[in-house]
Structure 1
Amino acid sequence: MMHSGDVILVNPNEIHSTQSPDHNHILVIQFPMDFLQKVTSGKYYELFEFDLNTVKSRNSTDDLLVILNRLVALANQYTIIDNLTATANIYALLALLCRNYISQLPIEKRHNNADLTLLGNITGYIQLHFRERLTLPMVAAQFGYSVSYFSKFFAKRMNLTFSEYLQQLRLNTANELLLHSDDTLTNIAYNSGFSSYRNFYNAFLENYQVSPTKYRQQYQHDKILHVEP
Structure 2
Amino acid sequence: MKHEMISPNEHYPFKLFSFTSRNPDRLISTHWHESAELLYCLKGNLEVRFPQVTYLLEPGDTLFINSNIIHSSRSPLPNEVFVMQFPLHFLQEMTQNQYNEQFLFNLNPSKGQDSRIQQLLDQIFHEYQTQELAVNLLVKSQTLALLALLVKNYRIPLASQQSIKSLKHLDRLKQINDYVQENYYQSLKLEHVAEVFNYDPAYFSRFFKKYMGISFSEYVNTVRLEKAYYQLRDTDMTVMAIAMANGFFSVKSFYNVFKKNYNLSPQQYRKKYFS
Q: Same fold (TM over 0.5)?
A: yes
Q: In the superposition, relative to structure 1, how do residues 78 and 65 fare at CA in structure 2: closer, same or farther (>3 Å)? A: same
2:75 counterpart residue number = 18
Matched, 1:204 2:258: yes
Task: Give, in whole Å, the separation in 2 of the partners of 1:66 and 1:76.
Answer: 17
Task: Give, in whole Å, the separation in 1 of the partners of 2:88 and 2:196.
Answer: 26
Task: Give, in whole Å, the separation in 1 of the partners of 2:244 and 2:188.
Answer: 13
1:195 counterpart residue number = 249
Question: What TM-score results when the alignment is normalised by the length of structure 2?
Answer: 0.62
Task: Give, in whole Å, the separation in 1 of the partners of 2:92 and 2:209.
Answer: 24
* Residues 113-163 of structure 1 deviation map (CA, whole Å, 9 limit, x = unaligned): 432232233333322322332222233233332222222221111111111
Q: In the superposition, relative to structure 1, how do residues 138 and 211 fare at CA in structure 2: closer, same or farther (>3 Å)? A: same
**Aligned residue-pair number:** 216
Superposed, 1:157-196 pairs within 5 Å as 157-196=211-250
Q: 3, 28, 46: which one pairs with 2:83?
A: 28
1:154 counterpart residue number = 208
* Residues 10-41 of structure 1 deviation map (CA, whole Å, 9 limit, x = unaligned): 5521132336536x6x5333344565567675
Matched, 1:76 2:129: yes
Give the RMSD, CA atoms, in angstroms.
3.5
Indicate the structure with greater strand content: 2
Return the letter of the residue paired with 1:173: K
Indicate the structure with greater helix content: 1
Unaligned 5+ runs, structure 1: 222-229
Q: In the superposition, relative to structure 1, how do residues 44 and 138 fare at CA in structure 2: closer, same or farther (>3 Å)? A: farther
Superposed, 1:47-126 pairs within 5 Å as 50=106, 52-56=108-112, 58=113, 60=114, 62-97=115-150, 109-111=163-165, 113-126=167-180
SS of 2:199's equivalent? coil
Q: Is the 8 A contact 1:52 1:101 kept in 2?
A: no
Task: Give, in whole Å, the separation in 2 of the partners of 1:172 and 1:103.
Answer: 34
Unaligned 5+ runs, structure 2: 1-23, 25-40, 45-58
The farther-off stretch of 41-50 and 116-125 is 41-50
SS of 1:27's equivalent? strand
Task: Give, in whole Å, the separation in 1 of the partners of 2:104 and 2:154.
Answer: 10
The farther-off stretch of 124-133 and 7-16 is 7-16
Return the letter of the residue paired with 2:271: Q
The farther-off stretch of 63-72 and 165-174 is 63-72
Task: Give, in whole Å, the separation in 2 of the partners of 1:19 and 1:75.
Answer: 27
